[in-house]
Amino acid sequence: MKFYSTNNNANIVAFDTAVRQGLAYDKGLFMPESIPDLDQEFLANIGNYSLPEVAIEILRPYVQGHISEATLETLCSDAFNFELPLVEVETNVYSLELYHGPTLAFKDFGARFMARVLGELNAGGDQQNTILVATSGDTGSAVASGFYKVPNTRVVILYPKGKVSTLQEKQMTTLGENISALAIEGNFDDCQRLVKQAFLDKDLAEKYGLTSANSINLARLLPQMLYYFYAVGKLQAAGKPIIFSVPSGNYGNLTAGLIASKMGLPIDHFLAAANANKIIPEYLKTGKFEPKPSIKTISNAMDVGDPSNFARMNSLFDGELSKFRRKITGYSFNDAETRDGIAFLKEQYNYIADPHGAIGYLALKEYMASHNVTGVFLETAHPIKFREEVEPVIQEQLILPDILKPVMDKPVIATTCGTSYEEFAAVLKGML
């Protein structure tokens, strides 16, 4: 299997190169050259496979030639070793809880797989990689946890000092070993600028094997197909069309669902559930893709004004609006509606959703008012990660999950650094 860049069909690379580069040199996103059809026997019996077994079946065609069958097996059982509950919230409406991984957000699926893939690609050789990540919170914690103790791999996380939650800071800074953190005395944009400049600094980039673990990386995208397969496996016996409502920001999650569907998974329709950053719902309405500066909301992991995976979706739909519309319906909800959604779920069904999941639920309810389907909304984060928003709405204190307790007791270890590139480069060299 080869992968092409969405900016140039002739820019074709193998799996290992696509993973190491992350973004193609022409700034396009990598896509599989052809999307393989899965075996009918497997598709009819997904419900009988465990989570790691499903992962092996669906990821095999993409990694073939680079990762052996035995390694793929180890890698999948190691990466996907947590629960994936499908909770029936009301009749025919399910919450697929993607937040039972170690950092309590769905980004664990992608980060844990990518970390192990990169470790494997580097194993035995003298290739060393240094992952540089700029984060406003969730991505940094998932990458830190995913790459913890992966051989031949260092991770340096840049976060804006004083601008992430205590929980997020603890998750990024208390691991030690191959994970280091830089608290940048600026905002998220400063962190991102320093990382981008480091990649362009050839001496530095080559000497330390700098790589990005950005969410556009193919090795983070592909494993996100896993939970769509798993949920369909649990629901398809009921015989109704199955639809997924996907709380979306950069649209990696929804794109993975589209690829799963193209591999033969029977998904009838997708809902693009957005907050006030409604670039894709607007595109579906007007046919115009118009990126805008992002707007701050209470579902902040979806505050994206220029969703990069539009390029991938456009490529899957041959750039045709009618094909987009056949497969996706867009919805957008503001913060007040999101809070009402959280309150409604709690009052009616005693279910506690986070702000992202609540938007998924609201979109689903609107669609299901006129469609007789089985609906699944993706619950992308544990409500505790957004306790400042959730607790006042449900008027109840959330309980800290056991998995977080040891982290909260450890001291923050981070190096403080200014926002000039010279200072950052010197600090980085000192660490590596």
Ligand X SMILES: *Cc1c(COP(=O)(O)O)cnc(C)c1O
Residues found near ligand X in the complex (CB under 6 A): 105, 107, 138, 247-253, 301-302, 356, 380-381
Closer residue to ligand X, CB minimum distance, 11 or 294: 294
With a CB cutoff of 8 Å and minimum separation 6, the contacts of 295 are: 275, 276, 277, 303, 305
218 in Cβ contact with 30 (< 8 Å): yes
Sort residue 75 into left (φ over 0), alpha (ψ -120 to 50) or beta.
Answer: alpha
Catalytic status, residue 207: no
The SS3 assignment for 275 reads coil
CA 32 to chain centre: 18
Cα–Cα distances in angstroms (integers) from residue 361 to residues 167, 246, 344, in the given order: 26, 9, 10
Q: Where are the beta strands (DSSP E) in 124-253?
A: 129-134, 153-160, 179-184, 210-212, 242-247
Write down the least CB distance from residue 205 to ligand X, Å: 26
Q: Which is nearer to ligand X, 248 or 374 (CB)?
A: 248
Two structure tokens written together for 430 = 């000192």
Q: Is the Cβ of residue 52 or residue 257 nearer to ligand X in the bound state? A: 257
Q: Which residue, 83 or 203, has its beta carbon nearer to ligand X?
A: 83
Q: Which is nearer to ligand X, 105 or 265 (CB)?
A: 105
Q: Which is nearer to ligand X, 313 or 417 (CB)?
A: 313
Q: Least Å distance between CB 142 and ligand X?
A: 8
**CA nearest 98: which of 89, 87, 88?**
87
Taking Cα atoms as reference points, which of 90, 94, 10 lies closest to residue 357?
A: 94
- Identify the CA nearest to 343 among candidates 385, 391, 382: 391
Q: Of the residues 2, 27, 107, 296, which is catalytic? A: 107
Q: What residue type is 239 in one-letter code?
A: G
- Which residue is it, tokens 């997708």? 270
Kindly tell me the burial class for residue 248, based on how many C-beta atoms sit within 10 Å of its own C-beta (0-12, 13-18, 19 or more): buried
Complete DSSP assignment for 369-398: TS---EEEEEE-B-GGGGHHHHHHHHTSPP
What is the Cα–Cα distance from 189 to 115, expressed in whole angstroms? Answer: 25
Does residue 106 sit in helix, strand or coil?
coil
Radius of gyration, CA atoms only, the chain? 21
Residue 362 CB, nearest approach to ligand X (Å): 14
Cβ-in-10-Å burial (0-12, 13-18, 19+) of 322 comes to exposed
* Nearest residue (CB) to ligand X, 170 versus 356: 356
To ligand X, the closest distance from the beta carbon of 426 in angstroms equals 32
- Closer to ligand X by CB, 173 or 300: give it: 300
294, 359, 52, 6: CA torsion to nearest 10: -40
Q: Which residues are catalytic?
A: 107
